[in-house]
Amino acid sequence: MTAPNATLPVFIARRITVAVPMIVAVITINFLLIHLAPGDPTTVFFGDFVPSQAQVQELSHRLGLDRPLYVQYFTYLATLLRGDLGFSYVAQTPVLSLIFGRVGATALLMLSSLALFTTLGVTLGSLVARRPYSPADNVNAVLSLIGYSIPVFWLGQIALLVFSLQLGVLPTQGMVDVRAGYVGWAHVRDVALHLVLPVTVLGMRYLAINSRLMRASMIEALGQDYVVAARAKGLREATVQFHAFRNAIIPVVTILGTNIGELLSGSVLIEIVFGWPGLGRLMYDAIFSRDYPVLMGLFVFISVGVVIANLVTDIAYGALDPRVRRT
């Protein structure tokens, strides 16, 4: 006995009711960490910054440290849900504006990599699935193992070494050539050239993950009855492959949301290697100056991003395949 499939709007509403508690839970983790961390909660907010007596009092009052813990919790929750991610005393700037200044660069790096290497991985996986254990398939298996196992920042360092010392054809640091000061199309071309290495290095892992997953799922799809039936009907091989492909791609869509979370971690590390001016650089500096409001703000910001990305992939998946709307 199976429950009837929910209609799409009901399904979407149900997924949103799962997403909202996740964001509340993330904020709760921050609140717990502030209170569990060594020292007074205000030390967490000031980090290495040496505050004046007046600043300490002002902050204690704003956090409501003289009131009961549950009042403090709801005050904190309300502040964050309003979009106020706090203030960095080290940088003397609101955390959200620090993040907004950097998020574009990270998004450019991450989304280019995601789009390019998901497409490449899916193509590669479905091509090698036609002839399992052929030489091309074995080469792909070896490359996948490397992609899976190599630390992304080390791959970046090696690429940097090779390209900056031996070849000199691609820029290896930053997002633009500051000295040239390009504008217009020359600027776009400059950024694109700076993107090549970090995007490729970042994408190797997803090339491996997607091609492996796509290969397995395509092999399974090609063994299904409907493929045999399609061949028996005398359909062209390209049409048969396309039928199998449409079903085989579903698992790749489902892990897109998870991949986005991992890609963000990878970007942070890659940005440090290539001097890319994004969130990773911001985080690296915050770690060194013990700027906890920035670290907590980044955690909330990135979590919200990942939760939304998962929500969108879930909904896309539910729209593509009505069977998943059942539960």
Partner 1 sequence: MDALWYAFSRNRPAVAGLAGLIAMVLLAVFAALLAPADPTAMGGSSLQPPSWLHLMGTDDLGRDTLSRFLFGARVSLTVGALAAATSCTIGICVGATAGYFGGWIDQSLMRGAEFMEVIPRFFLAILIVAMFGTSVFIIIGVIGFLSWPQIARLTRGEFLTLREREYVVAARAIGVGSGPLIFSEILPNAAPPLIVMATLQVSTAILLEAGLSFLGLGDPTRPTWGLMLNNAQPFIRSAWWMAFFPGAGIFLTVAALNLVGDGLSDVLNPRLRGL
Give the footprint of partner 1 on this chain (CB under 8 A): 22, 25-26, 29, 33, 37-38, 44, 132, 145-146, 148-151, 153-154, 157-158, 160-161, 164-165, 216, 219-220, 257-258, 261-262, 264-265, 268-269, 272-273, 283-284, 287-288, 290, 292, 295-296, 298-299, 302-303, 306-307, 310
- Least Å from the CB of residue 50 to partner 1: 19
Provide the total of helices (H) and of strands (E) in the chain, helices listed first.
14, 2
State the residue for tokens 């190797």: 204
Closest of 18, 197, 41, 223 to residue 132, by C-alpha: 223
Give the dihedral of Cα atoms 126, 129, 130, 131; nearest 10 deg: 150
Instruction: Give how far the C-alpha of residue 119 lies from the chain's centroid of Cα atoms, to the nearest Å.
Output: 16
Comparing CB distances to partner 1, the nearer of 252 and 269 is: 269
Smallest Cα–Cα separation from 34: which of 305, 303, 254, 300? 300
Largest CA distance in the chain: 83
Q: Is residue 93 classed as helix, strand or coil in its secondary structure?
A: strand
For 225, other C-beta atoms within 10 Å of its C-beta total 7
* CB 63, CB 46: distance < 8 Å: no
State which residue, 153 or 182, has the beta carbon closest to partner 1: 153
**Is the Cα dihedral 299, 302, 305, 306 positive or negative?**
negative
Q: CA-based Rg of the chain, rounded to a whole angstrom?
A: 24
We find the least distance from the C-beta atom of residue 261 to partner 1, in angstroms, to be: 5
Q: Give the nearest distance from C-beta 275 to partner 1 in angstroms.
A: 10
The rounded distance, in Å, linking the Cα atoms of 69 and 85 is 20
Cβ(203)–Cβ(113) below 8 Å: yes
Nearer to partner 1, 4 or 38 (CB): 38
Nearer to partner 1, 53 or 166 (CB): 166
* Closer of 235 and 308 to partner 1 (Cβ): 308
Residue 149 CB, nearest approach to partner 1 (Å): 4
Report the nearest approach of partner 1 to the CB of residue 24 (Å). 11
Only one residue has tokens 């939760």, namely 307
Q: How far is the CB of 154 from partner 1 (least distance, A)?
A: 3
CB of 19 to partner 1, least distance (A): 9
Q: Could you tell me the smallest distance in angstroms from the CB atom of residue 70 to partner 1?
A: 22
Q: Which is nearer to partner 1, 199 or 300 (CB)?
A: 300
Which residue number, 35 or 243, has a Cβ lying nearer to partner 1? 35
CB closer to partner 1, 136 vs 188: 136
Cα-based angle 283, 285, 288 (whole degrees, multiple of 5) = 110
